[in-house]
Amino acid sequence: MAVTKRLRVDMIACDGHGVCAELFPERIQLDDWGFPIIDDAPIPERLLKDARRAVTLCPALALQLVDDTRR
Ligand code: SF4
Tell whether the model's pLDDT for residue 56 goes beyond 70.
Answer: yes
Tell whether the model's pLDDT for residue 2 goes beyond 80.
Answer: no
Structural domains for the chain: 5-67 (3.30.70.20)
Distance 57 CA to ligand 1 centre (A): 9
Distance 1 CA to ligand 1 centre (A): 31
Q: Express the helix, strand and coil content of the chain in percent, nearest 5 each.
A: 25, 25, 50
- CB of 14 shorter than 6 A to ligand 1: yes
CA distances from 9 to 1, 40, 43, 54 (A): 26, 10, 15, 11
Rounded CA separation 69/5 (Å):
9
List, for residues 5-34, the tens digit of each pLDDT value: 999 999 999 999 899 999 999 999 999 999
- CB of 60 shorter than 6 A to ligand 1: yes
The pLDDT assigned to 70 comes to 65
Average pLDDT, the chain: 93
